[in-house]
Amino acid sequence: MWFRTATDLAAAIRDREVTPREVVASFLERIEEMNPRVNAIVTLLEPELALKAADEAPPGPLQGLPIAVKDLEDTAGMRTTYGSPLFAEHIPTHDSLLVERLRHAGAVIIGKTNTPEFGAGSQTFNAVFGATRNPHDLTKTPGGSSGGAAAAVASGMLPFADGSDLGASVRNPAAFCGLMGLRPTPGRIPDHGPGDPWNPLPVLGTIARNAPDIALLFHALAGPDPRDPLSIQEPWPLPPTLDDFDPSSVRIAWSWDLGGLPVEPEVTAALEEARAELEALGCTVEDAEPDFSGADECFEVLRGANFAAAFESIVDDLKPTLRANVRFGQHLEVARVAKALALRGELFTRMREFLTRYDFLAGPTTQVAPFSVDIEYPTEIAGAPMGSYIEWFRSCSRITVTAHPALSVPAGVTPDDLPIGLQLVGRHRGELDLLRLARALRS
């Protein structure tokens, strides 16, 4: 049953064609087969406990569907390491808000998916569990930081997965693994910490094989919560109608490089095919993009300031690249942080105004194809040197600072059959329209 979509499985369980136990057992068999090669699921319930949890799963939209949550989310009684040796044996006593919602919706939490240390970086490896590999090519990375989640879904070990996205961490691994990955508007999926609850840069998101599966999981996670001051009050519809969509009325702004970023030719070639598919649907596609001036400064300064606060007490024990980020944040001048906050407001306004003329912005999710699992990040893209491990995913981080939702959709493959993603950016709080467009493009 593991190859069936999440929506098919949910319907089969509701109609009593299959039982939650049968579904979970099928995925456990797939995990036993695939995980030793991929290393995506790093903590796994004993089979008897997982099957017992399936038998006891409460009614809900996700009843009986297995999920392993990202190893940044606290799970009561289940090891949660945050990808750090400092927490290698840490067992929380409480569930995170996201885990609470999964359990309430009937999902069966069978384990945890791999992440880089504290989710920092878009290549999934750490000193606790090692590297996760891309199911499309085991010599390549699945991206990150939700690389364990994406690799688990792409290899059939999970029907869908949660993720978190600060700079690129849902969109990048979805693109590298040939999946869909949704970074929603800040507050759409509430999160109650730790850290600054007013910070809109880090969000929780969803990864799946298709738009209906994204929508199914998204419904279970979205909705207001008083513990998150940014949480959006309007409920997420269920079931959302994704087929009620007319592509011929859609205007899409197309950007090849999102403000002059270096992009590898094999990425551009795959995007050319995706653009032709959008035009064949009847969409009007025009070359255009908003002004991204200051986006990199905004992202890197605010990320550094937040990391300085989060990791001050353990900075000397962090991996070198993350330690450098924290030191950068600790030495920021107040005026530079204030300027970055002002830039964040300007970037939101520019994107909002730009999307009054267009329905969507489309461009590359990543600037490179999946690269070797043995390197931390590409040091050069299309001949342009990358100064740090956070520069190579600016195609995503420039969207992050606009606070607009973005969805990575499979765009095609390279000549070596490595997946490439198309990033679709929607209007503020426009997740449903993004999913409708993705459904029309990849039905």
Give the catalytic positions in this structure: 70, 145, 169
237's CB contacts (< 8 A; 6+ apart) are 219, 432
User: 245: alpha, beta or left, given left = phi > 0 and alpha = psi -120 to 50?
Assistant: beta
Sheet with 41-44: strands ordered across = 41-44, 108-113, 66-70
How far apart are the C-alpha atoms of 106 and 92, rounded to whole Å? 21
Count Cα neighbours of 240 within 13 Å in the Cβ-side half-sphere. 25
Long-range Cβ pairs for the range 18-23 (8 Å, 24+): 19/54, 19/64, 20/54, 20/55, 20/57, 20/63, 20/64, 20/65, 20/108, 21/51, 21/54, 21/55, 21/64, 23/54, 23/64, 23/65, 23/66
| Number of continuous H segments (helices) and E segments (strands) in the chain | 13, 15
Q: Cα-flanking dihedrals φ and ψ of residue 119, to 5°? A: 70, 15
What letter does residue 75 receive in the DSSP assignment? Answer: B
